[in-house]
Amino acid sequence: NLSEKLDKAFHILKGHGKITEVNVADTLKEVRRALLDADVNFKIAKDFTARVKDKAIGQDVLTTLQPGQLLVKLVKDELTELMGGDVAGINLQGTPSVILMSGLQGSGKTTFSGKLANYLQTKKNKKPLLVACDIYRPAAINQLNVVGDSIGVEVYSEPENKNPVEIAQNAIKHAKANGFNVVIVDTAGRLAVDQEMMDEIARVHAAIKPQETLFVVDSMTGQDAVNTAKAFNDILNFDGVILTKLDGDTRGGAALSIKSVVNKPIKFVGTGEKMEAIDVFYPDRMAERILGMGDVVSLVERAQEQFDEEEARKLQKKIAKNEFGFDDFLTQIQQVKKMGNMKDLVGMIPGASKAMKDVEIEDDAFKHIEAIIYSMTPIERKKPALIDVKRKARIAKGSGTKIEQVNQLMKQFDQMSKMMKMMQGPGGKNLMKMMGG
């Protein structure tokens, strides 16, 4: 699926400290391929990666502290932009405000009509009226009645009338006369786009002039969803998209394409069959979901916030002059600890939480290390080479640890200093990784 493919694309960035211009290009090529596989139009995918590349070059990604993560963030931001940037509200200005549902049969119009009515009633203090304009299936009126009953919203229907335009118009009159301030018109759909259905919804649309025309689409239908959206938009010039059935492991690649092809905002998502399973659409959250990045982005943001560049520069100098000692090591640990506790951090790394499920992670994983360092004298911290067997025994005793633990820390410290020297880059930028081996 899309997420796995993007994972592959980002692997190179997440796994390696160093990035070259070559693997930026490679990664973006993979990102483009993943977008194409997810039914994103070729031109959109191409433009997308071109924009990310431009931004990456503009920001000098290659020389920053965490180039891979910065690139991940750029991709995510661009994806957010592609899906509409900001959260789009719905227009409730009319008296009453009329909302027309459109979409294929089975897309979730009737269910969503109920969810929206429930949402407006409970969260926005509105008095909605549901209108049954699906005149073809005998069970349709009944279905809407069941929905209406479950949320305590009145349903307007005319079982004998076969003219949806009249029903909708009568419903609006009924709403005006009875103090309803929102009218939600549920319509009939077909299994595929056909002329008769389009003519009918166009007639209803022209007659009632809704404040909001919403196009409801099943997020599992891939490229078809895009074609359907285009067909409906050509006729109705709708105001927004509702993406249903976004529960389970649907990644919602359709969201990307639809937004770019019809250039209309996605307003809500449906995430289940229950009336409460409705969410306002947040482009940034959707971008994360599509990328399957877990909370990598917020992890990166936190890391960037906490990482003191001044500190990093000082450290770099020390490494260069061979003056890196246990006090600096301690500072690094505190830096990492500031980012959150170990469990939280591990949980944010995609895949890691699953892999680590059975491993008990101590929140205070650094406790022993800190205790050992605190038991060293200032001169020992500065010049670890001084620490001989006798000193080790004293340190172990003072810190309540075993001499093996002191040895282990010395070894880790040694490896880390060597590695830092080798990198000659911004020092200690990923202490955790090095300590974990």
Residues tagged in the binding site annotation: 103-110, 186-190, 244-247
Q: Is 106 in the site for ligand GDP (CB under 6 A)?
A: yes
What SS3 state is found at 242? strand
Q: Which residues on neighbouring strands pair with residue 156, listed in sequence order? A: 131
Give the nearest distance from C-beta 294 to ligand GDP in angstroms. Answer: 23
Residue 139 or residue 389: which is nearer to ligand GDP going by CB?
Answer: 139
Distance CA 218, CA 228 (A): 10
Does 109 bind ligand GDP (CB under 6 A)? Our answer is yes
Complex with ligand GDP: residue 246 or 336, whichever CB lies closer = 246
User: Tokens 């090095």 map to which residue?
Assistant: 434
Instruction: Give me the residue whose beta carbon is nearest to Mg ion.
Output: 110
From the list 30-38, 243-251, 345-353, 400-408, the region that binds ligand GDP by CB under 6 A is 243-251
Interaction of residue 103 with ligand GDP, rule CB under 6 A: yes
Residue number with CB closer to ligand GDP (248 or 400): 248
Residue 26 contact partner, candidates ligand GDP, Mg ion, none, CB within 5 to 8 A by sort of partner: none
Token pair, residue 29, equals 């090529």
Q: Segment contacting Mg ion (CB under 5 A): 20-28, 79-87, 107-115, 217-225?
A: 107-115
Number of C-beta neighbours around residue 286 at 10 A: 24
Which CB atom, from 15 or from 138, has the smaller least distance to ligand GDP?
Answer: 138
Rounded Cα–Cα distance for residues 15 and 251 (Å): 24
CB of 187 to ligand GDP, least distance (A): 9
**8 A C-beta contact, residue 143 and residue 185:** no
Question: Pairing relation of β-strands 212-218 and 278-280?
Answer: unpaired
Q: Is 326 helix (H, G, I), strand (E, B) or coil?
A: helix
Q: Which stretch binds Mg ion (CB under 5 A): 17-25, 104-112, 256-264, 318-326?
A: 104-112
Q: Is 244 in the site for Mg ion (CB under 5 A)?
A: no
CA distances 282 to 185, 268, 337, Å, are 25, 9, 30
Query: Is position 260 an interface residue for Mg ion (rule: CB under 5 A)?
Result: no
From the list Mg ion, ligand GDP, none, partner contacted by residue 244 (C-beta under 5 to 8 A by kind): ligand GDP
Give the nearer residue to ligand GDP in terms of CB position, either 17 or 106. 106
Nearest to Mg ion of 146, 393 (CB atom): 146
Give residue for tokens 């389970």. Answer: 248
Assigned token pair, 334:
């505190």
When the beta carbons of 109 and 264 are compared against Mg ion, the nearer one is 109
**Any idea which residue has 């050509």 for tokens?**
234
Residue 100's DSSP bridge partners are 185, 213
Q: What are phi and psi of 187, to 5 degrees?
A: -115, 175
Helix axes 283-291, 67-82, angle to 10 degrees: 130
Q: Please state the residue numbers annotated as binding site for GTP.
A: 103-110, 186-190, 244-247
Instruction: Select from 18-26, 108-116, 125-133, 405-413 the region that touches ligand GDP (CB under 6 A).
Output: 108-116
Instruction: Print burial letters for 237-252: b (CB count within 10 Å at least 16), e (below 16).
Output: ebbbbbbbbbeeebbb
By the 8 A CB rule, do 105 and 139 touch?
Answer: no
The answer to whether 90 touches 267, Cβ cutoff 8 Å, is yes
Chosen residue from 17, 272, 294, 340 binding ligand GDP by CB under 6 A: 272
Q: Which of 215, 214, 225, 280 has the alpha carbon at shortest distance from 252?
A: 225
110 binds Mg ion (CB under 5 A): yes
The CB-of-250 to ligand GDP minimum distance in angstroms stands at 9
| Shortest distance (Å) from residue 369 CB to ligand GDP | 48
The residue (of 7 and 186) whose beta carbon lies closer to Mg ion is 186
Using CB under 5 A as the criterion, which residues of the chain lie in contact with Mg ion when the complex forms?
109-110
Using CB under 6 A as the criterion, which residues of the chain lie in contact with ligand GDP when the complex forms?
103, 105-111, 189, 244-245, 247, 270-273, 277
